[in-house]
Amino acid sequence: MAAATRVFIPSDTTARSLGADAVATAVAAEAKRRGANVRVVRNGSRGLYWLEPLVEVLVGDVRHAYGPVTAKDVAALLDAGFLTGGMHALALGPTESIDYLKKQTRLTFARVGVVDPLSLDDYRAHGGYRGLANALNLTGEQIVATVTDSGLRGRGGAAFPTGIKWKTVLATAAEQKYVVCNADEGDSGTFADRMIMESDPFVLVEGMTIAGVAVGATKGFVYVRAEYPQAIKTMRAAIESASAAGFLGTSILGSGRAFELEVREAAGAYICGEETSLLESLEGKRGMVRYRPPLPAIKGLFGKPTIINNVLSLASVPVILDKGADFYKSFGVGRSRGTITVQLAGNVKRGGLIELAFGLRLSEILYDFGGGSATGRPIRAVQAGGPLGAYVHPSQFDTPFDYEQFAAVGAMVGHGGLVVFDDTVDMGEQARFAMEFCAIESCGKCTPCRIGSVRGVEVIDRIRGGENETANLALLRDLCDTMVTGSLCALGGMAPFPVISVLNHFPEDLKARAGKPKAA
């Protein structure tokens, strides 16, 4: 009997949010009814989200894509012979030839959407655990030097050189050290961390293990937001099978070095994405931001030296240890080395995950990849880098996507999220929301953030209500300045950035709304 035809149907949250489970059930049932020998594999998502649920069929060595597929399409697809790559209105050709994917440089996301997320064999067959194997033959200093030389900078938003953090932890003597993964991906417009955890969880396990080996930490925590139930389940399952196979435990692969991992579920506080607040939360406390110094690298979790990195930073480590610092560094521009995972979201025709070497222009991402707005209307603004990032005006769309050049126009790359708005957006309302969100999520420790954000909402309401417009606009700028310079952490310190960008680039939207003061 011939081998079963493999049909790949994503189990990723977004694919499932559009009906992938029903498609998987329909494919299995319809194939059975027809006596077709089919094996359904639940892979992760390729990140071509406008095509989800994206179904792939392996024909020979080539995966052919069909999408977006609904359960109702399944019978017609089988009629059209999709099990042998047959033509159908939903046929997209070989997956790897789809332009959106072909133009990408997938290093961190090399396996995402390709493999069965929880198959350790699949992971290893696609290059997994080669980085750890190399790391186990190196000294801590050599591993840290490799990460430093690669030019990797923190992908969570702050872009601090990863190797420098590691070096500090390595150099700090302590009987216990920790590795903490910040998987509290709370920024709107971002989903790359979730994709890694749901679609290639072992790469994060491996990255954290390498970090532990490098600095002599024996325990790691993955702090995952409660809004990501599937990521939590997938990470827990991956850790369990990695432990069972000897990739985690008291002697990793017989090396005599110990590393254990545990998933901790967050509880819906945005501020816990800030690293010191996250550490407080892991310790079982309110997520209140800590004063720095001391740095977490010196006094972190439970007062011990702690590596705390974002999911994408840690997930980039295995490829660096596998292929070397020079390989990774050969991508990118200036001081932005390697790849950035752009997450294109909001009002955009082709939203999804785009991993690229740094340096592509924002306009190329928005129009060549994204195809413009979903509604077909002109794009009026793009919020880059999450809710604390500026709204980028169309006159700035030619800016190359890298840390320094974005900073030069008052914007930030952050975690790589881009949220697109068409020309129906009311930017005054967006400015108000930035302050409102800060008020809801402020930890309350410092006054500029706790009080300033509440006052910010009130002042914006007054401006929009036509009350002392000139004086209140000046007051709003002054308030933003106080928050930026006086806040303890990035929440209060950056929440004014979207507001300032609206003041600078979309002032007409802050004007009084003709006779209609905005209700709260």
Question: Given the DSSP bridges, would you call strands 379-384 and 38-41 parallel, antiparallel or unpaired?
Answer: unpaired
Strand partners, 421: 381
Q: How far apart are the first and last CA of the chain?
A: 67
Residue 306 belongs to what H/E stretch?
strand 306-310
Burial group, residue 231, by CB count within 10 angstroms (0-12, 13-18, 19+): buried
Q: Please tell me whether residue 49 binds another protein under the rule CB under 8 A.
A: yes
Q: Cis omega (within 30 of 0) on the bond before 305? A: no
Q: Please tell me whether residue 108 binds another protein under the rule CB under 8 A.
A: no
If the CB atoms of residues 16 and 63 are measured against another protein, the closer one turns out to be 16
Residue 513 belongs to what H/E stretch?
none
Residue 266, number of CB atoms within 10 A of its CB: 22
| Residue range at the interface with another protein (CB under 8 A); choices 84-92, 249-257, 268-276, 455-463 | 268-276
Tokens of 502: 């609206």
If the CB atoms of residues 144 and 224 are measured against another protein, the closer one turns out to be 224
Tokens of 366: 């928005």
State which amino acid sits at residue 64: H
Tokens of 145: 């030097």
- The size of the interface with another protein (CB under 8 A), counted in residues, is 61
Q: Which of residues 11, 14, 199, 234 is near another protein by CB under 8 A?
A: 14
| Residue range at the interface with another protein (CB under 8 A); choices 156-164, 278-286, 403-411, 478-486 | 278-286
Q: Please tell me whether residue 310 binds another protein under the rule CB under 8 A.
A: no
If the CB atoms of residues 197 and 483 are measured against another protein, the closer one turns out to be 197
If the CB atoms of residues 234 and 472 are measured against another protein, the closer one turns out to be 234
Q: Please tell me whether residue 420 binds another protein under the rule CB under 8 A.
A: yes
Q: Please tell me whether residue 199 binds another protein under the rule CB under 8 A.
A: no
If the CB atoms of residues 430 and 472 are measured against another protein, the closer one turns out to be 430
Tell me the C-alpha distance between 129 and 253, whole Å: 11
Q: Which of residues 32, 34, 103, 285 is near another protein by CB under 8 A?
A: 285
- Distance in Å, CB of 515 to another protein, minimum: 21
Half-sphere exposure of 372 (CA within 13 A, CB side): 5
| Residue range at the interface with another protein (CB under 8 A); choices 235-243, 329-337, 436-444, 472-480 | 436-444
Q: Please tell me whether residue 267 binds another protein under the rule CB under 8 A.
A: yes
Residue 138 belongs to what H/E stretch?
none
| Residue range at the interface with another protein (CB under 8 A); choices 109-117, 328-336, 421-429, 467-475 | 421-429
- Distance in Å, CB of 437 to another protein, minimum: 7
Q: Which of residues 7, 31, 43, 50 is near another protein by CB under 8 A?
A: 50
Name the nearest CA neighbour of 508 among 376, 363, 387, 381.
381
- Distance in Å, CB of 425 to another protein, minimum: 7
Tell me the C-alpha distance between 383 and 367, whole Å: 15
Q: Which of residues 275, 355, 402, 422 is near another protein by CB under 8 A?
A: 422
- Distance in Å, CB of 2 to another protein, minimum: 37
Residues numbered 346 to 365 that lie near another protein (CB under 8 A) are: 346-348, 351-353
Q: Which of residues 425, 480, 491, 499 is near another protein by CB under 8 A?
A: 425
Instruction: Supply the DSSP symbol for 268.
Output: S
Question: Over the range 283-322, which residues count as b (16 or more CB within 10 Å of their CB) and which as e?
Answer: eeeebbbbeeeebbbbbbbeebbbbbbbbbbbbbbbbbbb
Per the listing, tokens 């060549």 go with 368
Per the listing, tokens 């300032």 go with 500
- Distance in Å, CB of 141 to another protein, minimum: 29
Please give, one letter per residue, the 3-state secondary structure of 410-460. CCCCCCCEEEEEECCCCHHHHHHHHHHHHHHHCCCCCHHHHHHHHHHHHHH
Per the listing, tokens 């802050």 go with 510
Which value, to the nearest 10 degrees, does the dihedral of the CA atoms of residues 267, 271, 277, 280 take? -20
Q: Please tell me whether residue 283 binds another protein under the rule CB under 8 A.
A: yes
- Distance in Å, CB of 284 to another protein, minimum: 3
Q: Please tell me whether residue 270 binds another protein under the rule CB under 8 A.
A: yes
Half-sphere exposure of 367 (CA within 13 A, CB side): 10
State which amino acid sits at residue 465: G
| Residue range at the interface with another protein (CB under 8 A); choices 1-9, 284-292, 311-319, 399-407 | 284-292
| Residue range at the interface with another protein (CB under 8 A); choices 86-94, 398-406, 433-441, 477-485 | 433-441
Q: Which of residues 115, 345, 357, 473 is near another protein by CB under 8 A?
A: 345
Q: Please tell me whether residue 181 binds another protein under the rule CB under 8 A.
A: no
- Distance in Å, CB of 228 to another protein, minimum: 6
Q: Please tell me whether residue 119 binds another protein under the rule CB under 8 A.
A: no
Tell me the C-alpha distance between 307 and 177, whole Å: 8
If the CB atoms of residues 191 and 328 are measured against another protein, the closer one turns out to be 191
Question: Given the DSSP bridges, would you call strands 332-333 and 379-384 parallel, antiparallel or unpaired?
Answer: unpaired
| Residue range at the interface with another protein (CB under 8 A); choices 72-80, 92-100, 224-232, 480-488 | 224-232
If the CB atoms of residues 98 and 145 are measured against another protein, the closer one turns out to be 98
Tell me the C-alpha distance between 343 and 246, whole Å: 34
Interacting residues toward another protein by CB under 8 A: 13-14, 16-18, 49-50, 52, 185-191, 193-194, 226-230, 264-270, 281-287, 302, 343-348, 351-353, 374, 383, 387, 417, 419-422, 425, 430, 433, 437, 440-441, 443
